[in-house]
Amino acid sequence: MFHLRTCAAKLRPLTASQTVKTFSQNRPAAARTFQQIRCYSAPVAAEPFLSGTSSNYVEEMYCAWLENPKSVHKSWDIFFRNTNAGAPPGTAYQSPLPLSRGSLAAVAHAQSLVEAQPNVDKLVEDHLAVQSLIRAYQIRGHHVAQLDPLGILDADLDSSVPADIISSTDKLDLAVFKERLRMLTVGGFYGLDESDLDKVFHLPTTTFIGGQESALPLREIIRRLEMAYCQHIGVEFMFINDLEQCQWIRQKFETPGIMQFTNEEKRTLLARLVRSTRFEEFLQRKWSSEKRFGLEGCEVLIPALKTIIDKSSENGVDYVIMGMPHRGRLNVLANVIRKELEQIFCQFDSKLEAADEGSGDVKYHLGMYHRRINRVTDRNITLSLVANPSHLEAADPVVMGKTKAEQFYCGDTEGKKVMSILLHGDAAFAGQGIVYETFHLSDLPSYTTHGTVHVVVNNQIGFTTDPRMARSSPYPTDVARVVNAPIFHVNSDDPEAVMYVCKVAAEWRSTFHKDVVVDLVCYRRNGHNEMDEPMFTQPLMYKQIRKQKPVLQKYAELLVSQGVVNQPEYEEEISKYDKICEEAFARSKDEKILHIKHWLDSPWPGFFTLDGQPRSMSCPSTGLTEDILTHIGNVASSVPVENFTIHGGLSRILKTRGEMVKNRTVDWALAEYMAFGSLLKEGIHIRLSGQDVERGTFSHRHHVLHDQNVDKRTCIPMNHLWPNQAPYTVCNSSLSEYGVLGFELGFAMASPNALVLWEAQFGDFHNTAQCIIDQFICPGQAKWVRQNGIVLLLPHGMEGMGPEHSSARPERFLQMCNDDPDVLPDLKEANFNINQLYDCNWVVVNCSTPGNFFHVLRRQILLPFRKPLIIFTPKSLLRHPEARSSFDEMLPGTHFQRVIPEDGPAAQNPENVKRLLFCTGKVYYDLTRERKARDMVGQVAITRIEQLSPFPFDLLLKEVQKYPSAELAWCQEEHKNQGYYDYVKPRLRTTISRAKPVWYAGRDPAAAPATGNKKTHLTELQRLLDTAFDLDVFKNFS
């Protein structure tokens, strides 16, 4: 037994790195030409001794042979050599060579044994056949499990029965069943004889069907395998390459009689089904013409979720964060999260006014947060449902990020207290790429939430689209296989089977802390929404659905027949819940006003006043004392641990940093260090995530030092700054934007006291995360009254790198700002700039100095409210000798400068200035260089707009008034239809009451963001500089 287990353990696949190592060391040259496909794809036809299940074994032999041809039996060696040499199918195998003299005695002995027991061969073969049969059920049993409650569809889109299992798709058709049995046994696939059916076989350790028995008759083995794998539960798990995990699952599903429920449990299940079903019926009665994306056909979802939560609570979880789409959302809010019913019902009242700023996103999108006692476990539990846009699956990474943050803040490093549950529709789960991106975050150290339970409402349709047109994979859940998550398919018309898999899923999560999927195979009783006619497109399916008895009725009849409840008790349960609904409905009529803030998914206790207002409307200085700046600078330029060897190039970088600190200056990287380091001192957690952020795409940051002599030994100096500082997390992400940005947004949602930043590798890559930007970041507060202080760092700049790496598309962010270009706000208002920030949907900045970058990062936290911050960050300026700031610009009393006015000779004699150029970001350095070269420092003033939005009307008005004779021009390096021009021009005109034109100096409109030709780039740059400094150029237009 022990020996067998060790062998099995040895057969576990090698890890990727092991594989690379062993293969590259020992691989014979000829191996590259071995035709795997020819050998294993048609094994039965090709080589008589190869079969579907033995091909795994052959592969293992092959791998061993690749490593060392002598490690396998001579016959395998010859076989593989012949195959590699191109032997046609069926001829590669040769009988083993004659044995050597020395072993003749042993052979004689063995032969005498065989002759003495003529059935030994058959016995061994039969046992192997039975093992193969068991394994076939474990691997493919789910393909024939009866998963579709309608009995007309195949959950795996395939009606055939796998060739190596006995099960018949139609169990009622005994003739078919017998025929398969005959085919596979009597001289068929397994070479068993009909008489073998009553023979007793020893069971391998990889099955639990025996219970206490170690051997069973074949007939019973088949029956038990059928029971475990081919009834209402289809278990997909054999792709998991961990023996312990596979054994755990086998034990959960194969052990005879394991799926037992007490009468108490059955009654609870029935009561939950009553609530789920009657809730939808109530809504249908009261608002028959309203869309609600009802749950009819998958009412079992409510008890399913409750079971997962009960079981998880029992295992120590006290906070569950959920994300879900439209289907059944109201029901989940009412019956899982336990939102007050009147709050749900009043959402249907179209006459109610909104009390708060939220645009009151439709009721099946709002989030929720609720703390209560779990009645089953008698433990406190907090449930939160994240608000979601209509973009299916977009909330997945957000839920994960929020879960990670909650785990982080309560020190739950193993996910024992906080967990996430994600719900999906079948079409969306298969179709949306974000699902895959989110799965890939699930096991990364800085992103894992230690297992998410996924529940798919697999109603076998997506709007009007049939699954056969909606996916190429057998199941909608196949995406989960990439992370080795077990998948439990279950027929939703069998509520007990559903409860069982939900229990196992919750146990799996708390045992292995890995993702798991529950696939509720169900149907959709109505159209996509209650107004839709499904018969247009799915006539036959819907004919069947019309005949389908609701699951509540079926289950109630079953329990009545079992004597678990009686009819009056059942009816009383129904009328009790109906009464609850009616009473809540009556109360909902008293609601005069809709409070969107009641639908907050992440309250920030203590951050706002009790009525949700900021505690002040001012922002203190964002400057720091010289001591703090110097201390952070010194740590940033050192290696704060002993015996740690860094790369020579990095030593030079740190030395340069040290010199900057001595000279009291900072570059971009050091400014960022100062901002982060000081906030950490103040107890603010900082999390910087994105592709290659640890070093920095442009090799300027180096927040993680790597010991050059010790593998994987790293040091993060930022975490060595202060005693009792807040922790700093800096993490290279997977190569995803949509998933990772969504994740960080979710992380930022959990607490206002953290600076969460996502950096795009190049700014243009943010567009693969556009959905998160458009649906959450830009309008999140307006839709869901939820603030969020996430920071986006978007490297941007025209530097001749071509159209792909130049533009972070500022025009798009600016176009989505909610300030009015044509209305001049009241500039005399006290705290004008803070009020402006409070009213905006996000802040957009492009800093031209490291000092200002430092200030805007600190301001993000020192503000008494939270807004998303979009920063266009530089590339060449990271190393530009002029792009430095003195400590003087960062001392106490200093602030972020929304506008940096001209402060050179032009500002001394403003009346002589002919042109006032406005610009933002890097082009400032090109402009000042050119102005100096043309000796025009007295004639042209250059003012930088650092905060583009909200627009600094007040400061710009002062600038314009300072230069009465100057023409105004906007200069940008981006093409005219891009960049900032369309945003800035009307606002500048509004600032000056349209008294003067605002001219344009920049590139012409273009389709692509930048040219890929360096020479053209430079020519274009020179042309825009010529325009900027040609004082006659606009004369002809005036």
C-beta of 525: minimal distance to Mg ion in Å?
12
Minimum distance, C-beta of residue 397 to ligand TPP, in the bound complex (Å): 14
Residue closer to ligand TPP by CB (options 172, 469) is: 469
CA distance 134 to 203: 9
User: Whole-angstrom Cα distance, residue 98 to residue 115?
Assistant: 20
- DSSP string of 44-69, one letter each residue: HHH-TT--TTHHHHHHHHHHHHHH-G
Contact partners, residue 806, CB within 8 Å, separation at least 6:
764, 796, 797, 798, 799, 1009, 1010
Residue 225 has φ and ψ, to the nearest 5°, of -65, -40
Rounded Cα distance between 687 and 691, Å, is 13
Task: Tell me which residue has tokens 């953290």.
Answer: 754
Nearer to ligand TPP by Cβ, of 520 and 794: the residue is: 520
Residue 598 interaction partner, one of ligand TPP, Mg ion, none, beta carbon < 5-8 Å per kind: none
Q: Between 425 and 779, whose beta carbon lies closer to ligand TPP?
A: 425
Residue 390 binding partner per list Mg ion, ligand TPP, none, with a CB distance cut-off of 5 to 8 Å that depends on partner kind: ligand TPP
Q: How far is the CB of 457 from Mg ion (least distance, A)?
A: 7
Q: Does 459 bind Mg ion (CB under 5 A)?
A: yes
For residues 171 and 391, which CB has a smaller minimum distance to ligand TPP in the complex? 391
CB of 811 to ligand TPP, least distance (A): 24
- Residue 424 or 898: the one with the smaller Cβ distance to ligand TPP is 424
- Candidates 74-82, 389-397, 641-649, 730-738: pick the segment binding ligand TPP (CB under 6 A): 389-397
DSSP single-letter state for residue 462: B
Choose which of 149, 415, 425, 739 interacts with ligand TPP (CB under 6 A).
Answer: 425
Q: Which of 392, 721, 984, 1025 binds ligand TPP (CB under 6 A)?
A: 392
Burial 696-719 (b: 16+ CB within 10 A, else e): bbbebbbbbbbbeeeeeeebbbbb
The torsion angles phi and psi of 682, rounded to 5 degrees, stand at: -85, 10
Binding letters toward Mg ion, positions 422-451, x by CB under 5 A: ---xxx------------------------
Indicate the residue among 462 and 797 with the shorter CB distance to ligand TPP.
462
Is there binding between residue 291 and ligand TPP (CB under 6 A)? no
The reply to whether 436 sits near ligand TPP by the rule CB under 6 A is no
* H and E: helices and strands count for the chain: 37, 28
From the list ligand TPP, Mg ion, none, which binds 463 (C-beta under 5 to 8 Å, kind-based)? ligand TPP
Is 752 near Mg ion (CB under 5 A)?
no
Instruction: Pick from 427, 741, 785, 971 the residue near ligand TPP by CB under 6 A.
Output: 427
Listed ranges 83-91, 382-390, 407-415, 421-429: which one lies at the site for Mg ion (CB under 5 A): 421-429
Minimum distance between the CB of residue 483 and Mg ion, rounded to whole angstroms? 22
CA–CA distance, 413 with 126 (Å, rounded to integer): 49
- How far does CA 300 lie from the centroid of its chain? 26
Secondary structure string (H, E, C) spanning 750-811: HCCCEEEEEECCCHHHHHHHHHHHHHHHCCHHHHHCCCCCCEEEEECCCCCCCCCCCCCCHH
Residue 950, preceding peptide bond in cis (omega within 30° of 0): yes
Complex with ligand TPP: residue 397 or 797, whichever CB lies closer: 397
| Strand positions, DSSP E, 97-153 | none
392, interface contact from ligand TPP, Mg ion, none, CB < 5-8 Å by kind: ligand TPP
**Which of 412, 426, 493, 973 is close enough to bind ligand TPP by CB under 6 A?**
426
Counting contacts by CB under 6 A, is residue 346 touching ligand TPP? no
Residue 526 contact, options ligand TPP, Mg ion, none, Cβ 5-8 Å cut-off depending on partner type: none
Q: Least distance to ligand TPP from the beta carbon of 459, Å?
A: 5
428 binds, among ligand TPP, Mg ion, none (CB under 5 to 8 A by kind): ligand TPP
Q: How many residues make contact with Mg ion (CB under 5 A)?
A: 5
Q: Does 390 bind ligand TPP (CB under 6 A)?
A: yes
701: partner contacted, choices Mg ion, ligand TPP, none (Cβ within 5-8 A by kind) = none
Stretch 446-485: interaction string toward ligand TPP, x if CB under 6 A: -----------x-x-xxx----------------------
Question: What character string, x for contact with ligand TPP (CB under 6 A) and - otherwise, covers 658-697?
Answer: ----------------------------------------
Report the C-alpha gap between 683 and 671 in whole angstroms. 19
Task: Calculate ∠ Cα 949-954-955, nearest 5°.
Answer: 85
Shortest approach of ligand TPP to residue 428 CB, angstroms?
Answer: 3
CA-to-CA distance for 81 and 68, rounded, in angstroms?
13
By C-beta, is 743 or 865 nearer to ligand TPP?
Answer: 743
Binds 663: which of ligand TPP, Mg ion, none (CB < 5-8 Å by kind): none
Nearer to Mg ion, 139 or 153 (CB): 153
* Alpha carbons 1026 and 536: distance in angstroms, whole number: 65
103 vs 390, which CB is nearer to ligand TPP? 390
996 sits in which H/E element: none
Query: Can you tell me whether residue 386 is helix, strand or coil?
Result: coil
Q: Which is nearer to Mg ion, 528 or 985 (CB)?
A: 528
Residue 492 Cβ, how far from Mg ion at the closest point, in Å? 12
- 900 touching ligand TPP, by CB under 6 A: no
Q: Which of residues 731-760 bind ligand TPP (CB under 6 A)?
A: none
Interacting span for Mg ion (CB under 5 A) from 390-398, 457-465, 606-614, 661-669: 457-465
**Alpha helix segments (H runs only) across 892-933:** 905-908, 923-933
What does the alpha-carbon distance between residue 23 and residue 66 come to, in Å, rounded to a whole number? 8
Helical (H) or strand (E) element with 248: helix 243-254
Residues 135-154 that bind ligand TPP (CB under 6 A): none
In sequence order, the 6+-apart residues with CB closer than 8 A to the CB of 987 are 819, 821, 951, 953
Residue 23 or 463: the one with the smaller Cβ distance to ligand TPP is 463
What separation, in Å, do the N-terminal and C-terminal C-alpha atoms of the chain show? 95
Q: Where in 617-726 does DSSP place strands (E)? A: 665-666, 685-690, 705-706, 714-715
Whole-angstrom Cα Rg for the chain: 35
> Are 418 and 425 within 8 A, CB to CB?
no
Site string for Mg ion, 460-479 (x = CB under 5 A): --x-----------------
The Cα 56–Cα 652 span in angstroms is 54
Q: Which of 370, 391, 976, 1023 binds ligand TPP (CB under 6 A)?
A: 391
Identity of residue 116: A
- Which partner, Mg ion, ligand TPP, none, binds residue 1034 by CB below 5 to 8 Å per kind? none
* 732-to-450, 669, 691, 813, 924 alpha-carbon distances in Å: 19, 17, 5, 25, 32
Distance, CA of 411 to CA of 315 (rounded, Å) = 17
Closest-by-Cβ residue to ligand TPP is 425
Question: Contact residues for Mg ion (CB under 5 A)?
Answer: 425-427, 459, 462
Question: Contact residues for ligand TPP (CB under 6 A)?
Answer: 327, 390-392, 425-428, 457, 459, 461-463, 524, 528
